[in-house]
Amino acid sequence: MKDRIIKDILKEYDSLRLKEKEALIQKQNEVYAKIPEMEALQNELVELMGTASRNIINNPQDAESTIPYLKKRVRALRKKEQKLLEEHGFPPDYLLPKYRCPICQDTGYVGDMIKNRCKCLTQRILIETYQLSDMQDLDIQNFQTFNPDVFPNTYPKGSKVTQREYMVAVKKRLLGYVEHFPNNKRKTILFTGKTGLGKTFLLNCLAKAIMDKGYTVMRITSYKLFDRLFFSSLRDKEESIELLSYLFDIDVLIIDDLGTETRRNNYTQEDLFNILNERMLTAKHTFLSTNLSLSDIQDRYSDRIASRLFDTSNTMLIKFIGEDLRIISKSRQEI
């Protein structure tokens, strides 16, 4: 089944490249009609790059001296091309292909001699194969749609700032985290607090921002994750091993609603510890949210798990405070 899914995804990639190629031909025809000298300029560029490639292959000993000159000529022609486009009302990059993934140019693979899966392909396989990543809300739940006005401008008990001010500060802190990603000192983020305070929304904000930087992300509820791990271990050991491999290797693993998972003797505890421990050892990023308090976490899970989650040298602890936004919204609708 997985091979069929990969084949279907790669067919989609082929279709994307074909559509972009057709769109580029239409753009070229449009430009050539308006700027006749552009066709000769583009042909010169193609010929120059072809000559460069042949020279490097046939005379590798001269490559060191030849390449800088050829690069300089290509830059000069590109600059002339962009100037012509702008003079005639076109964007300077109008004749450059627009790829959905600029890293692999919508091929799904990167590398010259050895081909490796691009992160965009890994992300798609993960979603399509396991149907685990809950990513459907990212278009409407991200930092751009963050609205501070939904938070009450009142002071939670014991707080010197309003709930709104507090959440704006949390957003700013997370934006700083994204800016430095993946080179953050602390690789784990733990959101704690009651329901309806915006934890899941901000997890989605993090997921979208980090995916936009070209990294792979899985966001999943704790209930779904540990159910899948348990049943795959009973049905198919190979599937279980492959799933754990994804959980260990993905750039960012986001576990939402920790504490809602079904307890099954020591299975869940061992799986959670293995995931946290392996990702910590390999310096992978793991974000979690929970409605449990820190003392509840200590009571529910083993000391080994608590020590991983509460290690402030590696974990950023963020407590959400204030009133439940869902209750506030409901009460406003009833007024």
Task: Give pLDDT tens digits for 2-29.
Answer: 566 778 889 999 999 999 999 999 999 9
Together in a domain, 90 and 167:
no
Residue 131 has pLDDT above 70, yes or no: no
Helix (H) or strand (E) holding 42: helix 37-58
Together in a domain, 102 and 137:
no
Cβ atoms of 27 and 111 closer than 8 Å: no
DSSP notation for 243-285 = HHHHHHHSSEEEEEEET-SPP-TTHHHHHHHHHHHHHHHTT-E
User: Can you give the residue range of the structural domain that contains 87?
Assistant: 2-117
pLDDT of residue 333: 41
pLDDT of residue 284: 95
- Sequence-ordered list of residues with C-beta below 8 angstroms from that of 195, at least 6 positions apart, any chain: 291, 324, 326
pLDDT of residue 76: 86
Residue 180 has pLDDT above 90, yes or no: yes
Whether residue 45 is contained in a domain is answered as yes
Mean pLDDT value of segment 132-141: 69
Share of the chain above pLDDT 70, in %: 88
Residue 319 has pLDDT above 60, yes or no: yes
Mean pLDDT value of segment 117-126: 81
Rounded distance, CA 20 to CA 58, Å?
33
Residue 79 has pLDDT above 50, yes or no: yes
Whether residue 250 is contained in a domain is answered as yes
Mean pLDDT value of segment 141-148: 93
Together in a domain, 93 and 182:
no
Whether residue 22 is contained in a domain is answered as yes
DSSP notation for 104-139 = TTTSSEE-SSS-EE-HHHHHHHHHHHH-----TTTT
Together in a domain, 228 and 289:
yes
pLDDT of residue 78: 85
Mean pLDDT value of segment 150-161: 93
Structural domains in the chain (count): 2
pLDDT in tens, 187-238: 999 999 999 999 999 999 999 899 888 788 888 899 988 888 888 777 767 7
Together in a domain, 62 and 173:
no
Identify which has the larger pLDDT, 196 or 131: 196
Whether residue 155 is contained in a domain is answered as yes
Whether residue 15 is contained in a domain is answered as yes
Rounded distance, CA 46 to CA 41, Å?
9
Tallying the residues shown for the chain, one arrives at 335
pLDDT of residue 331: 44
Together in a domain, 92 and 147:
no
CATH of the domain at 238: 3.40.50.300
The whole-chain average pLDDT of the chain stands at 86
Name the pTM for this structure. 0.68
Residue 132 has pLDDT above 60, yes or no: no
Nearest to 31 by CA among 108, 75, 91, 73: 91
Mean pLDDT value of segment 131-143: 72
Cβ atoms of 240 and 177 closer than 8 Å: no
